[in-house]
Amino acid sequence: MPFKIIASQCTSCSACEPECPNVAIREKGGTFVIDPKKCTECLGHFDEPQCVAVCPVDNTCVIDTSLPRYQAPA
Protein backbone atom coordinates (compact mmCIF):
# COMPACT_ATOMS: atom_id res chain seq x y z
CA MET A 1 0.00 0.00 0.00
CA PRO A 2 1.47 3.31 -1.00
CA PHE A 3 0.90 6.55 0.87
CA LYS A 4 -1.82 9.06 0.03
CA ILE A 5 -2.45 12.65 1.11
CA ILE A 6 -5.79 13.53 2.69
CA ALA A 7 -6.64 16.57 0.58
CA SER A 8 -8.95 18.23 3.13
CA GLN A 9 -6.06 18.41 5.62
CA CYS A 10 -3.30 19.39 3.19
CA THR A 11 -2.12 22.99 3.73
CA SER A 12 -0.48 22.94 0.31
CA CYS A 13 2.83 23.96 1.89
CA SER A 14 4.82 21.86 -0.63
CA ALA A 15 7.27 20.60 2.00
CA CYS A 16 6.75 16.97 0.94
CA GLU A 17 7.31 17.49 -2.77
CA PRO A 18 11.11 17.84 -2.84
CA GLU A 19 11.61 15.27 -0.06
CA CYS A 20 10.06 12.35 -1.97
CA PRO A 21 12.92 10.12 -3.23
CA ASN A 22 10.65 8.80 -6.01
CA VAL A 23 9.42 12.16 -7.30
CA ALA A 24 5.93 10.79 -6.74
CA ILE A 25 4.41 13.99 -5.33
CA ARG A 26 3.00 16.87 -7.35
CA GLU A 27 0.53 19.70 -6.96
CA LYS A 28 -2.95 19.07 -8.24
CA GLY A 29 -6.00 21.26 -7.76
CA GLY A 30 -4.51 23.36 -4.97
CA THR A 31 -3.20 20.50 -2.83
CA PHE A 32 -0.57 17.82 -3.27
CA VAL A 33 -1.08 14.23 -4.42
CA ILE A 34 1.06 11.10 -4.36
CA ASP A 35 1.27 8.94 -7.47
CA PRO A 36 0.57 5.44 -6.06
CA LYS A 37 2.49 3.84 -8.93
CA LYS A 38 5.68 5.67 -7.95
CA CYS A 39 5.40 5.53 -4.14
CA THR A 40 7.69 2.93 -2.53
CA GLU A 41 6.85 3.93 1.06
CA CYS A 42 10.48 5.10 1.07
CA LEU A 43 11.61 1.45 1.46
CA GLY A 44 15.28 1.21 0.59
CA HIS A 45 15.69 4.96 0.73
CA PHE A 46 15.01 6.10 4.28
CA ASP A 47 14.02 4.72 7.67
CA GLU A 48 10.77 6.68 7.70
CA PRO A 49 8.45 7.83 4.92
CA GLN A 50 9.65 11.34 4.10
CA CYS A 51 6.24 12.84 3.39
CA VAL A 52 4.99 11.71 6.81
CA ALA A 53 8.10 13.02 8.57
CA VAL A 54 8.00 16.51 7.03
CA CYS A 55 4.22 17.11 6.90
CA PRO A 56 3.10 19.86 9.34
CA VAL A 57 -0.35 18.32 9.83
CA ASP A 58 -0.40 14.98 11.65
CA ASN A 59 -2.22 12.06 9.98
CA THR A 60 -2.37 13.76 6.60
CA CYS A 61 0.09 11.52 4.72
CA VAL A 62 -1.32 8.05 5.44
CA ILE A 63 -1.20 4.50 4.05
CA ASP A 64 -3.80 4.03 1.33
CA THR A 65 -5.53 0.87 2.57
CA SER A 66 -7.46 0.47 -0.67
CA LEU A 67 -4.26 -0.54 -2.47
CA PRO A 68 -1.85 -3.47 -1.89
CA ARG A 69 1.35 -2.83 0.08
CA TYR A 70 4.42 -1.92 -1.90
CA GLN A 71 6.60 -4.94 -2.68
CA ALA A 72 10.31 -4.33 -3.11
CA PRO A 73 11.54 -5.94 -6.33
CA ALA A 74 13.25 -9.27 -5.66
Partner 1 sequence: MDVSAQHDASSGNLAEVGEIMQAIAEHKGCGTTGGSGKASCGSQAGQGDLPTEIWEKVKNHPCYSEEAHHHYARMHVAVAPACNIQCNYCNRKYDCANESRPGVVSEKLTPEQAAKKVLAVASTIPQMTVLGIAGPGDPLANPEKTFKTFELIYNTAPDIKLCLSTNGLMLPDHVDTIAKYNVDHVTITINMVDPEIGAKIYPWIFYKHKRYTGYEAAKILTDRQLQGLEMLTERGILCKVNSVMIPGINDQHLVEVNRAVKSRGAFLHNIMPLISAPEHGTVFGLNGQRGPSAQELKALQDSCEGEMNMMRHCRQCRADAVGLLGEDRSAEFTTDKIMAMEVKYDAETRKAYQEKVEEERIAKVAAKQEELAELAGTSSDIKVLVAVATKGSGLINEHFGHAKEFQVYELSTAGAKFVGHRRVDLYCQGGYGEEDSLETIIRAINDCHAVFVAKIGGCPKGDLIKAGIEPVDQYAHEFIEKSAIAWFKAYLDKVNSGEIEHVERGDAAIRQGALISAA
Kindly list the residues in this chain that would bind partner 1 in the complex (CB under 8 A): 9, 11-15, 17-19, 46-48, 50, 53-54, 56-57
64 and 1 Cβ atoms separated by less than 8 Å? yes
Instruction: Report which DSSP code applies to 61.
Output: E
- Separation of alpha carbons 43 and 21, rounded Å: 10
Beta bridge partners of 25: 34
Smaller CB separation from partner 1, 2 or 49: 49
CB of 28 to partner 1, least distance (A): 15
Q: How far is the CB of 61 from partner 1 (least distance, A)?
A: 12
